[in-house]
Chain A
Amino acid sequence: MKLPRVMLGSNPFHAVSYRSADERKEYRRRFADVDSVYRVMERCAELGVKGFHSYAKDVEIKSIVRLREKYGDSITVVSILPDIYGAMSRQVGGDSQDKNLAKVKMLVKNMPSLVSAGVTGNLVPMVDSVLKTELDFIKETRPDFILLHGTLADMACVTDQKRLLELFQERVRKAGAIPGMTTHNLGTAYRKLKEMTVHFPVIEAPFNPRGFMMQPSEEKCLEIRREAGDVHFIAKKVLAGGSVEPRSGFLYAYEKAGVQSTVIGIGNVSEAEETFAAAKEILGDGFHEEYDIAAT
């Protein structure tokens, strides 16, 4: 499987912004339908971007499917799982806005596995059930890489849930993709992975010149990046939540941190043109490079 150097993120598509409630509201309005998301994705593809991140959200999945129809296997799809609330909502066929109701129904539906988990202390059947639903939901995007969501990955790492991490890897490989993980705690998560002897070939973590969300410190994250020669790093939060210019963010990620790939969320077509022009200026022909990643 190939991982491109530059990839499109999906945060704006599900209304994530670190700048203001107004911007989140604007993203919610702007990306309410498949066409709006697809327009940004398509323009990025025209600009030479070959990698696309996607959450297991309906609008994003449908946009990726359309992109696949046009660009086939020349693009790389990276999915992040699970979309926790989305998963709950889908399991119960409920309204995703009514999270509390969905949660209650989800618990009721999963009560046998929850009770089993309580009696035996074994979480695996319950997590397995959520994963199966999620993998089924994203299968039409034909994901090349599937990354475990940062919140769950971090939680699994600090609570030594080796079996859960391995289960995720097994399920992802069975689905024909390469497993990876995202983290908001690179220092702690990487140390715990080593202790548990669990290896992920791909790790996505924050790298930016402000040190934003680089935990426990910028220095420690850079040290791990240098040490972990057997891991392909994808830098996220490259623009530090919008407080860094694209050129500075890319320079830091590729030259100071030395990561192989970056992923950037884009809110509109002109932002895509400006951002990826900066990446091209720094990477030159390397903008189009892709890395072969082995499954293990």
Chain B
Amino acid sequence: MQDKLRIAIVGAGEMGMVRGVMAKGLPMYELACIVDSRGTFARLAGKQFGVRHFSSYEKAASAEQFDAVVISTPLNSHHELGLKAVRDGKHVFCEKPLAGDSSLAIEMHREAAARGVKTQVGYNWRFHVTFSKAKEVIQKGVLGEPKYVRLMVYKSEVVRPEEKGEKKNREERFGFYGALAVHGLDLLLWFAGKPSSLSAQTTRVFSSGLSDLISAICRFDGGIHGVIDLGWSHHGFVDKDELSLHITGTEGSMVVNPDCIETYLERECGEFPCGDSLVYASELPYHTEFWFTHRGLSHEMEAFANAVIRDEKPAPSWYDGYLVDRLVEALEESGASGKPISPVIEESE
């Protein structure tokens, strides 16, 4: 069995460079080359990482050996690059959102499944200690049977009219959804399951393509009732990630955010006492060979490498990426029409 995953990173922007540093720091990775259509960026990144650089994926694939591709390019190239890589038999990690369009996302997922390659999408909050711990203990029944989930994601990123160029750039990157909200939506689906119906209200405060403020009431497949409250035009939310989940079950309630897990339980359950308890992220173990910039990134990249090396099922998969893209469309569709909808969800297989 191979012990290292040899990768090509496509895109030498901010995330591509972070992925490159992490690949150099994590022992299960070997960085083969870096690709960027901007020659200066490619050359600089190649020099910094001590690897070959190419101006296109095709040139890299024909000249260099690698098992997997990390796609860190702008959203509008994920579909094309993702398909090319899986058709070449490469395992692929793609930054979030997967495609920003559910029909493209499901095509990516199905093509990857048909080729038998591993795929993962960059919803790294699943790997943050508080959310992963919450998921683990809820699955063990600490809250009893989950009945209600509320997702709140607030930012103060777009709080004034923007210059045309900046606005266009943001909207091409999927607006607020692309900036942070998709992370929250992925967590919501991870905890609650697929949406069966929803009714949304959406408002464009400063954007023209996608909404800045989004609220919705949902019902999920397992019967859980959910509330979604998203916005990047709220003033005063200057923290990088104001993201929280409130989950209520038959035996207790839990609030999870990046800093802590707060619970109130009707009975003692495992490590959680009856009544109130509070666990900080700093109290939960998180060890890795290389930690860099964000609290979930290391385990996310370890998970992708391990899925390939140990032939395990990767998660969040491209199907999970499809589900988030589909949920965004459903929110926007319901918000625009003012009517409740039951989104059609494609099956994984």
Contacts and interface: CB of A to CB of B under 8 A. Distances in A.
B291 A21 contact: no
A216 B282 contact: no
Interface of A: 18-21, 24-25, 28, 100, 114-115, 117-119, 121-123, 151, 154-155, 158-161, 184-185, 187-188, 210-217, 240-243
Given A159-B24, A210-B282, A213-B291, 17 more contacts: A18-B259, A18-B280, A18-B282, A20-B259, A25-B238, A118-B44, A122-B47, A158-B290, A159-B48, A159-B49, A211-B285, A215-B289, A215-B291, A216-B288, A217-B287, A243-B282, A243-B283
A242 B282 contact: yes
Nearest to B20: A159
B282 A241 contact: yes
Interface stretch (B35-43, B62-70, B76-84): B35-43
Contact of A21 (B50, B259, B293): B259
B328 interface: no
A19 B21 contact: no
A100 B293 CA distance: 18
A241 B284 CA distance: 12
A92 B90 CA distance: 43
B280 A215 contact: no
Contacts of B259: 18-21
Given A212-B282, A242-B282, A158 B44 contact: no
B40 A158 contact: no
6 contacts: A25-B238, A154-B25, A158-B21, A213-B291, A240-B282, A242-B280
B292 interface: yes
Contacts of A159: 20-21, 24, 48-50
Contact of B289 (A117, A123, A212, A216): A216
A19 B283 CA distance: 11
B141 to A, nearest CB: 26
Among A18, A117, A160, A240: residue with most chain B CB under 10 A:
A18
Contacts of A119: 40, 43
A184 B282 contact: no
A241 B282 CA distance: 6
B56 to A, nearest CB: 17
B104 interface: no
A185 B25 contact: yes
A118 B39 contact: yes
Contacts of B291: 154, 184-185, 213, 215
Interface of B: 20-21, 24-25, 39-41, 43-44, 46-50, 166, 238-239, 242, 257, 259-260, 280-283, 285, 287-293
A193 B328 CA distance: 46
Q: Which 4 A-B pairs have the closest CB atoms?
A: A121-B47, A118-B40, A241-B282, A158-B25
Nearest to B25: A158
A176 to B, nearest CB: 30
A28 B237 CA distance: 12
B223 to A, nearest CB: 31
B21 A241 contact: no
Given A215-B289, A216-B289, A243 B280 contact: yes
A155 B49 contact: no
Among A100, A188, A210: residue with most chain B CB under 10 A:
A188
Contacts of A20: 259-260
A241 B21 CA distance: 25
Nearest to A155: B21
A240 B39 CA distance: 43
Given A185-B25, A185-B291, A241 B46 contact: no
Nearest to B239: A21
Nearest to A216: B289
B282 A215 contact: no
Nearest to A237: B282
A114 B283 CA distance: 42
Contacts of A243: 280, 282-283
A19 B290 CA distance: 23
Contact of B280 (A100, A121, A241): A241
Nearest to A117: B44
B4 to A, nearest CB: 15
A25 B236 CA distance: 9
B48 A161 contact: yes
Given A20-B259, A123-B44, A159-B49, A188 B283 contact: no
Nearest to B39: A118
Contact of A188 (B40, B44, B47, B290): B290
Contacts of B44: 114, 117-118, 121, 123
A23 to B, nearest CB: 9
Nearest to B243: A21
B260 A160 contact: no
A18 B281 contact: yes
B213 to A, nearest CB: 19
A24 B49 CA distance: 35
